[in-house]
Amino acid sequence: MTHTRTELTALLAQHGLKPSRALGQNFVVDPNTVRRIARLAQVGPGDLVLEIGAGLGSLTLALAETGAEIEAMEVDRYLLAPLRSVVEPHGVTVHHDDALHADYERILHGRTATVVANLPYNVATPLVLHLLETQPLITRMLVMVQKEVGERFAAHAGDEAYGAASLRLQYFADAQVVGKVGPSVFVPRPNVDSALVSIVRREHVRVDPDVVSEADLFSIIRTSFGQRRKMLRRSLAGWVTEGVFERAGIDPTRRPEELTLEEFARLAAAR
């Protein structure tokens, strides 16, 4: 019961709509792809799913097929009428909200939830981090993002994509790329490949805040990656105190992209 390319194009025409370039809208028009995403989300009867950026409901319909309870969020007011006509007959509740400012207590009703989303490039990183930082009831996510963003989310020390965003995500959750999606399944067709990323919130943050505060830890990480190609003794020249590298057991000639979150924590604790 998911949209084909022909059906979605007809739905856009029926409502006099075109995908918004400003909002980064690329609608999935391949039933196999949306069912694959729903399967990878590992949801079913008894689960609460929040779909962010429901668009015209292609993925929403596939999620509804799993038997999970679906709350769908869409920021584009022009899409609300066609979206509701498609998904509300299947028991889906539609919310007109900006995911960065939504009232999640109202939407989730105090229940734990899995987020499933097809996220445009310009909002993917701030939104995922916002949800991890502020919404503990969101315990899992399955997000489709631009391939480079997905690689950044799942990167570890030494990986080319590794950076401050990778470490921020690692602090709260474990992430892995679980699939790739080509541009041919979208309308309009993007110029990039996409990745499917599974994000699972950790029961506790990865660095004990009683040992190193979150603020101190990410202060050093941001400072280090401000000059990521330089050795730590240079990128942290204005931050370090005498003997900090020795106390932390960190070689000052290493570069920021080589350090794990735990090593950054040792540096912060040794200052």
Token pair of 49 as six digits? 């799913």
CA-to-CA separations, 78 to 18, 60, 109, in angstroms, rounded: 10, 17, 26
Decide if 167 is inside a domain: yes
Decide if 55 is inside a domain: yes
Residue 254 has pLDDT above 70, yes or no: yes
- Contact between 85 and 111 (Cβ < 8 Å): no
pLDDT in tens, 129-171: 999 999 999 999 999 999 999 999 999 999 999 999 999 999 9
CA–CA dist 5, 263 (Å, integer) = 49
Decide if 206 is inside a domain: no
Identify the domain containing residue 71 by its residue range. Answer: 5-201
Same domain, 51 and 177: yes
Query: What average pLDDT does this structure show over 171-198?
Result: 95
Q: Identify the domain boundary among 172, 201, 230.
A: 201
Decide if 173 is inside a domain: yes
Looking at the DSSP bridge assignments, the partners of residue 51 are 72, 116
- Contact between 197 and 177 (Cβ < 8 Å): yes
Decide if 46 is inside a domain: yes
**Percentage of the chain surpassing pLDDT 70?**
100
Q: What is the pLDDT of residue 188?
A: 87
Looking at the structure of the chain, the number of domains it has is 2
Decide if 207 is inside a domain: no
Q: What is the pLDDT of residue 1?
A: 65
Decide if 262 is inside a domain: yes
Same domain, 107 and 239: no
